[in-house]
Structure 1
Amino acid sequence: MDSFYIFSSSLVLFIFTLLMIKFHSITRTSNSSSGNKLPSPPSLPIIGHLHLLGSVIPKSFEALARIYGPLIQLRLGASTCIVVSNAQVAREVMKTHELNFCYRPNFGSSEYFLYKGSYFITAPYGPYWRFMKKLCVTQLLSSSQLGRFMHIREQEIKKLLKSLMVCSKEGRECDLGFELTTLTNNILCRMAMSTTTCLDNDDAVEIHGLVKEFLEVGAKLSIGEVFGRLGKLDLFGYGKKLVKIVAKFDCILERIMEEHEHGDGCDDDEESTLDMMYILLRVYRDPNAQVRLTRNDIKAFFLDIFLAGTDTSSVALQWSMAEILNHPTILKKLKAEIDGVVGSTRLVNESDVPNLPYLQAVVKEVLRLHPTAPFALRQSSEDCIINGFYVKAQTRTLINVYAIMRDPQSWHNPQDFIPERFLDHDQANDIIKTSVNDFRYIPFGFGRRGCPGSSLALTVIQATIAALIQCFEWKIKGGDRVNMEEGSSFSAGLAKPLLCYPIISYNPFSL
């Protein structure tokens, strides 16, 4: 007992000493900087500004910005960053100084990542990143590639509708969040590597489980940033857990890669030869490729797109349904538009979306209030001046997309759900027309580091919402309104499960 007490006391003293050294180092560095000092709230020794943060981080940063301005510096334990909270400063970072901020910071201990050096999303701005971005734009996520896989998205939406109709006929509730996550995961798995095409294939289920574990453990590992060098000691074992998760993912990917290479897939020729895996393997085998990909590069790319694409699209769909169900007038207008354009003899599909402007406005407004990536992460490569303040090279920069798209200086009644603000008619202050240069609305980021999968995400969200509204009336379990409390996950989803009773209003399968 005495030895344990001595060990515990020594460990606490050791941690305290290291954190104090780090704190004084940060203080000396900030005091020696030239130029105007960045605004910063009063901080506490060791923990910095951690005590000012609530469970919903972007909302906490938004509250601080209202007091200290649109560009502030925060110290979270041993980690320092700056936070951007309005459109004007975001434009400076993401456009005026775009090349300087074309880098993304790494969080957590990179030594635990099996694919170290191969990740596309966090890759340094250089030949590898530019090659992969070009590959996404011209082949992997191009409009022609998305068009080839329209049948996959339609099939998966029909599976979703059939599952909900079973719930309706049995008079039981459905967890709409679970159903929508299954939808987005299956779509992505099939487009990426044709993994749900075999009847006995559970790869899609296993991949999604691993992605959820990765996000949970990775978030905990990233918290180690507040401990500085102590975070690398992996005191809680999250690093080891992450290694095991990625190793399981690696085994699945290696087997799927071998099946594609040897032509052992169970799907028809069209789908198996056009999925993303096939395209990447074709580049991998090309001796004249501008950049020679490794097998780890391919696996890391798929891990990136599953981490970035599955839960985020599902969360956007859940927020969409929550907002629509909580606004009966909007629901009525949306249903009337779908009925007027599509009629009652067939199921709405993707080709109908351009003729459904109110649907598009509803989705835009959902993404304004509930961006699935609340922060756009950047890191400067050189010293620069932003909004009149000196920003050092290698400064981690968080663009608070959540706060920017709720800024009362940019939006009329910013906290209200008003799809009409996105419609092209004369309503003065109520209408905000988006454009590629309008930094008031950046749900998918901006510029070189903007989300390459935004077209796919919008396509899935719009088509799915249209089908759910066309085919069902909805009753919310436990009341008349959906609980809109925000969760603390990276995707900033609903805190409570979206439990509903679907009531069939149109059955496209009975014809």
Structure 2
Amino acid sequence: MTISDYVFTVIVVFSVFWYLWLYTNYKRRFPPLPPGPWGLPIIGNLPFLQPELHTYFQGLAKQHGPIFKLWLGAKLTIVVSSPEVAQEILRTNDTIFANRDIPAVAPGNTYGGSEILWSPYGPKWRMLRKLCVNRLLSNAMLDSSVELRRGETRRTVRYLADQARLGKPINLGEQISLMNVNIVRQMLWGTTVKGEEREIVEAEFLELVTEMNGLLLKPNISDFFPVLSRFDLQGLVKRMRRPAQRMDRIFDRIINQRLGTGSGSDERVVDFLDVLLKVKDEKDDKTNLTMNDVKALLMDMVLGGTDTSLHVIEFAMAELLHNPEIMKRAQQELDKVVGTDKVVDESHISKLPYILAIMKETLRLHTIAPLLSPRCPSQTTVVGGFTIPKDSKIFINVWAIHRNPNIWEDPLKFDPDRFLDRSYDFIGNDFSYLPFGSGRRMCPGLAMGERVVLYNLATFLHSFDWIIPQAERVGIEETFGITLKLKNRLVATPVLRLSDPNLYL
């Protein structure tokens, strides 16, 4: 027997035993594991994955039902695609599914995972989330920091107005991205960094955010075969440490400057760093915040707050350029509520139901977190009549739920009117509409994200008309990632709408 024959025989024998083991284990379980496609020995369904996971999972759900399984290497993965099963996970069994499935590379950029996004459900996580919701992202805090956000938006408006006077098309996505990063930075540490140093920090900040989010997205063998994670075979954990260390140095520099000048100056607006440093110094046993906790929460805000609002605004503008009659209707609402002799303020948001409907419809059709953040059950439980083992990886395909024709009439049509007829909110009470998730681990930045999106979308529509250059086309194709993105660049020419030039200052 040749060596190749020997290897082939070993593979065949191993495969037979592997399938027998799987079959025996399935038969022993009652209730059984969810159905799903068969995979290959050892690597399971990995070779058959497609880059656009949300659409791939949608197709598998049509074959195997609203809850099915995949073996991604050694990791059992469960995919849910119905409101009923999602409710069982996110509400009925919320505590059991309150942990995240943590990518091997994640602790490398989040101070060991000691923050909100990846921390296990427990007293420390509850303390951090309560701090975020009640102190950092409360309505009172957001009200007090209106001018921080307004300053960055007006800076973008001035740039767009300059380009409009020249008749120049602009890459709107790039401008929204830069504006959004600067809004987050202002909310985090305000004007601590000034002048020439501010421009340097802004450029480095954007570069590091892009690099770290890119590394989180890369397929990692350590996630598919957790036993190999200690070896970091692809070097991704090592690569993540470099931008994380650079970001840590930015944090240290800004914190030291703030401590040197005092954290409670009356000359500027209180920002997140002020609040965190104050909480750290309170020495309250219920919070007991360390400096690493402060930096971990800043990192949370950096990675969680920079991409999401950007892509919602970009998708919304793309849809409005593709549907000019909807844009015109939104502008008519703005002219009626705001007028043409003043600029949009955040105080106008509550009086703009059609702008809110545009945001809601954008989040339905182009769900920014299409699979939410994967959950990891802390114990074996039964969901949808199937056994869900402890430590399996749970995806909830909200993107597919939002496009289900049994739930939504004409689901592929961009139609904000559907949100004027029925009151859907963002807080996960209706499991057919979950743009921010639901339950304990739903997005804590919801209130801030809503303000940023609505205020800036309203500002862009009120201040400018938008023309598509002849050489460009409005393509609304999606590309999958940690957040759903517009595949093609969004290029448009702004045209001044307001007659008073001073309104663009």
Common fold by TM > 0.5: yes
Structure 1 alignment gaps of length 5 or more: 1-8, 425-430
Partners of 1:85 and 1:52 lie apart in 2 by 19
Partner of 2:439: 447
Task: Confirm whether residue 33 of structure 1 aligns to residue 29 of structure 2.
Answer: yes
Aligned counterpart, 1:458: 450
Match of 1:412 among 409, 413, 427: 409
Q: Deviation of residue 59 (structure 1)?
A: 1.4
Q: Secondary structure at the match of 1:336?
A: helix
1:118 to 109, 114, 122: 114
Cα deviation code 1:455-499 (max 9, x no counterpart): 111111111111111111112234574111112322110111111
CA deviation profile, 1:118-152 (whole Å, cap 9, x unmatched): 12111111111111111111110000000001111
Distance, in Å, in 1 between the alignment partners of 2:107 and 2:116 is: 17
Task: Say which of 131, 135, 144 aligns to 1:139.
Answer: 135
The answer on whether the counterparts of 1:70 and 1:86 sit within 8 Å (CA) in structure 2 is yes
Deviation at 1:117, TM superposition (A): 4.0
Q: Does 1:393 align with 2:390?
A: yes
- 1:250 & 1:386 partners in 2: Cα distance? 41
8 Å CA contact 1:326–1:481 kept in 2: the answer is no
Pairing 1:6-405 to 2, within 5 Å after superposition: 27=22, 30=26, 32-109=28-105, 112-113=108-109, 115-195=111-191, 198-200=194-196, 201=198, 202-220=200-218, 222=220, 224-263=222-261, 269-271=266-268, 274-376=270-372, 377-405=374-402
Query: Does structure 2 retain, via aligned residues, the 8 Å contact 1:80–1:396?
Result: yes
Paired AA for residue 88 in structure 1 = E
Rounded to whole Å, the distance in 2 between the matches of 1:54 and 1:331 is: 35
Q: Which amino acid aligns with 1:172?
A: K
Give the superposition deviation at 1:61.
0.9
Looking at structure 2, the residues matched to 311 and 477 of structure 1 have their Cα atoms a distance apart, in angstroms, of: 26
Aligned-residue Cα RMSD (Å) equals: 2.7
Is 302-311 or 138-147 further displaced after alignment? 302-311
Q: Which residue of 1 aligns with 2:465?
A: 473
Per the TM alignment, residue 42 of structure 1 is displaced from its structure 2 partner at its CA by 2.6
Q: Tell me: CA distance 1:219–1:384, structure 2 relative to 1, closer, same or farther (3 Å).
A: same
Residue in structure 2 matched with residue 5 of structure 1 by the alignment: none
**Among candidates 488, 493, 503, match of residue 501 of structure 1:** 493
Mark the CA change 1:111 to 1:362 in structure 2 (over 3 Å): closer, same or farther: closer
Structure 1 range deviating more: 20-29 or 248-257: 20-29
Question: Which one-letter code corresponds to 1:244 in the other structure?
Answer: R
Whole-angstrom CA distance in 1 between matches of 2:378 and 2:276:
30
3-state SS of paired residue (2:102)? coil
Tell me which residue corresponds to 1:510.
502
- 1:223 Cα offset (Å): 5.4
Contact 2:106/2:216 (CA < 8 Å) preserved in 1?
A: no
**What is the Cα deviation at residue 77 of structure 1?**
2.4
For 1:254 and 1:40, locate their aligned partners in 2 and report how far apart those are by CA, in whole Å: 49
In the alignment, residue 388 of structure 1 is paired with which amino acid?
G
Query: What SS does the aligned partner of 2:375 have?
Result: strand
Deviates more, 1:41-50 or 1:62-71: 41-50
- Give, in angstroms, the shift of residue 156 of structure 1: 1.2
Asked whether the equivalents of residues 50 and 76 of structure 1 are also in contact (C-alpha less than 8 Å), the reply is yes
Deviation at 1:70, TM superposition (A): 0.9
Q: Which moved more, 1:339-348 or 1:471-480?
A: 471-480
- Structure 1 residues 247, 337: CA separation in 2 closer, same or farther (over 3 Å shift)? same
Unaligned residue ranges in structure 2 (runs of 5+): none
Q: Which residue of 2 aligns with 1:4?
A: none
- Note if contact 2:105-2:236 (Cα within 8 Å) is conserved in structure 1: no
- State the 1:222 CA deviation: 3.9
Distance 1:26 1:333, change over 3 A: farther
What are the Cα deviations for residues 379-434 of structure 1, in whole angstroms up to 9, with x where unaligned? 1111211011111122221111111111122111111111000104xxxxxx5644
**In 2, Cα distance between the equivalents of 1:244 and 1:314?**
25
Specify the SS of the correspondent of 1:373.
coil
Q: Compute the displacement of 1:437 (Å).
A: 1.9
- Alpha carbons of structure 1 residues 199 and 23: separation in structure 2 relative to 1, 3 Å: farther
Q: For the structure 1 residues 224 and 144, does the alpha-carbon distance in structure 2 shift closer, same or farther, using more than 3 Å as the test? A: same
Aligned mates of 2:409, 2:127 — CA distance in 1: 41
Q: What is the distance in 1 between the residues matched to 2:147 and 2:167?
A: 30
Opposite residue 213 of structure 2, the aligned amino acid is: L
Q: Percent identity?
A: 34
CA distance in structure 1 between the aligned counterparts of 2:258 and 2:293, rounded to whole angstroms = 16
* Aligned residue among 411, 420, 436 for 1:423: 420
Give the secondary-structure state (helix, strand or coil) at the position aligned to 1:269: coil
Deviations, residues 15-38 of structure 1 (Å, cap 9, x unaligned): x99x98997798375554332231
The aligned amino acid for 1:401 is: V
Aligned partners of 1:196 and 1:169: how far apart in 2?
Answer: 33
Q: Tell me how many residue pairs correspond in the alignment.
A: 490
Q: Residue 116 of structure 2 contacts residue 300 of structure 2 at CA under 8 Å; is this kept in 1? A: yes
What is the CA-CA distance between 1:324 and the residue it aligns to? Answer: 0.8
Q: CA separation in 2, counterparts of 1:329 and 1:44?
A: 51
TM-score by length of 2: 0.90
Within 1, Cα distance between the matches of 2:180 and 2:187? 11
